[in-house]
Each structure stands twice: as C-alpha cells, then as structure tokens.
Amino acid sequence: MKLHLVCVGRLRKGPEKMMVEDYLDRFAKAGRGLGLPPVTVTELDAKGAGMIAEGELIARAIPPGAAMAILDERGRRITSPDFAAHLGDWRDQARDVALVIGGADGIAPDLRDRADLAISFGAMVWPHMLVRVMVAEQLYRAASILAGSPYHRV
C-alpha cells in the first residue's frame, strides 16, 4: 500500500505547513506498527489554467488502481471511525490510496464522478491549506483509532 496526498496548490512556509508536517509525522510514527505507510505529498500547479487542466494533472498523479478519495464539500459527511475503517480496508486489500484536494475552482466533474469516496468536511467551503491540515489530522486520528489509542474520544 502507498498513501498519496495529491493537492492543487503549494503550501508556503507558515502555520498551516507546520501543522501538516506535524500531523503527517505523527501519522508516520503511529502507522508504523499498523501497516500504514508514511504519506507522500504531491503538490500540483496548473499555473492558473483552470479546473480542467488541474484535473488532468491530478489524474496523472494518481497511480493506476489506487483508490481515489476526494475532498469535496458536496461529498459525504463521514465520521472519523468511518474514515479509519476505509483506511483499514484499503490497507487490508493492499490497495494504494490517493486523497485529493482541489484548487480554487474545485475538482473537475469527471474526476469527481470517478472517485471511490467523496469526503465532505461540511457544507461550507474551506481554503485548500486548511483542508490539508484537516486531512493530515484525520489521518493521524484514523491511525490512532486503528491502534486503539485514546487520542480519539466520542
């Protein structure tokens, strides 16, 4: 299994980048004993060419056969344990996974249609850099849930 975080846009030095790095580092440590690999982050820049050009870059960055989970406000509002269960299932199937965060115009409709899972963090639109922080935190939370550690409480 390989785990990819494919993002349109670059994170500059700053608090969001520090938080993403911290959570992904925690995820890598927590995932070690769970058969979950460290996350590979791919940042894409279509240089303002728009959603369709970004969609083509995203499609090229996703390994063939990988499960594609997109972040999209129109997606499903799943719980953190549900997300952990998806991650655990993909791991058990030895399936590569690509988590995709779109750019300012969102993710191209044809890619959205092809997604195995569309995850919503609520009906409001968040900036891509905050979504990246939230995904990194949810990955760490998922690993904690799969490990049975007390980080996640309901």
Separation between Cα atoms, residue 136 and residue 132, nearest integer Å: 6
125 marked among binding-site residues: yes
CA distances from 16 to 23, 37, 48, 143 (A): 11, 22, 22, 21
CB of 18 to ligand SAM, least distance (A): 19
90 marked among binding-site residues: no
Asked if residue 126 binds ligand SAM (CB under 6 A), the reply is yes
Segment contacting ligand SAM (CB under 6 A): 24-32, 71-79, 90-98, 136-144? 71-79
3-class DSSP assignment, residue 67: strand
Of the pair 122, 150, the CB lying nearest ligand SAM is at 122
Copy the structure tokens of residue 6.
């494919």
Separation between Cα atoms, residue 36 and residue 1, nearest integer Å: 7
3-class DSSP assignment, residue 58: helix
Q: In terms of DSSP H, where are the helices of the chain?
A: 15-32, 51-61, 80-92, 109-114, 128-147
Chosen residue from 12, 14, 94, 124 binding ligand SAM by CB under 6 A: 124
Of the pair 24, 71, the CB lying nearest ligand SAM is at 71
Asked if residue 48 binds ligand SAM (CB under 6 A), the reply is no
Asked if residue 107 binds ligand SAM (CB under 6 A), the reply is yes
Residue 43's region, left for phi above 0, alpha for psi from -120 to 50, else beta, is beta
124 marked among binding-site residues: yes
71 marked among binding-site residues: yes
Asked if residue 106 binds ligand SAM (CB under 6 A), the reply is yes
Binding residues for S-adenosyl-L-methionine are 71, 102, 121-126
Residues that bind ligand SAM (CB under 6 A): 71-73, 101-102, 104-107, 120-122, 124-128, 131
